[in-house]
Amino acid sequence: MAGTNSMQKTVRDMVLSLAVIVLVAGVVWLLNTQEDGDPDLKRVDYRVDLLTARRAAPYPVAAPVGLPEEWKPTSVRYRGADGDAWHLGYHAPDGEYVAVEQSTGKRAVFIRSKTQGAEKTDVTQQIDGETWTRYDGDHYDALVLEGTDGSTTLVTGTGSFGQLTKMAEAL
């Protein structure tokens, strides 16, 4: 009967080892679990960047006016050496991303880059007397305004066309 006792001891040890492993895995899982909420993105103050870009850019630099407080500006930059590129990114009220992009760089390259490869559609819409063209993409959609001064303005991001239109109307 000595063999049976050692067999029971081995099974008991395996069960105890498995229980310890499950317990440790559970603790690790609990420590790594995060809330399913929006990330705490900091609101940026872009006023100085906007004034600087408006002085430097050869086109009218666009920034929204009158958007509700729930639209949170999260990123801004102007790169004069890179086609006078202006960027103003927003976190929309529903958590989507919407950005204003402008440049005097090569239009096709700029649009492809900022929309992550979205394709031009035949759909246009009038916003404040200007004709904007819709671009559909796998990642980003966009509204594109081709300026007569050689500049291109995009309102792009993961937001719906309704949100993109709201941003374009505020420019």
Paired tokens of 35: 């809330």
- Residue 76: strand, helix, or coil: strand
Domain 47-170, second-level architecture: 3-Layer(aba) Sandwich (3.40)
Tens-digit pLDDT profile for residues 52-98 = 999 999 999 999 999 999 999 999 999 999 999 999 999 999 999 99
Rounded to whole angstroms, what are the CA distances from 86 to 43, 49, 58, 67, 126? 18, 10, 11, 19, 23
Rounded to whole angstroms, what are the CA distances from 82 to 104, 106, 110, 154? 9, 11, 10, 16
Tens-digit pLDDT profile for residues 129-152 = 999 999 999 999 999 999 989 999
Q: What is the pLDDT of residue 33?
A: 62
Q: Which of 102, 106, 105 is nearest to 77 (CA)?
A: 102
In the predicted model, is pLDDT for residue 24 greater than 90?
no
Domain locations in the chain as residue ranges: 1-33, 47-170
In the predicted model, is pLDDT for residue 39 greater than 90?
no
User: How many whole angstroms separate alpha carbon 126 and alpha carbon 144?
Assistant: 11
Average confidence (pLDDT) over 102-115: 96
Q: What average pLDDT does the chain have?
A: 90
Are β-strands 72-79 and 85-91 bridged in parallel, bridged antiparallel, or unpaired? antiparallel
pLDDT band at 37 (very low <50, low <70, confident <90, very high): low
Average confidence (pLDDT) over 8-31: 78
Paired tokens of 153: 């303005």
Residue 170: CB atoms within 10 A of its CB come to 18
Global pTM value: 0.76
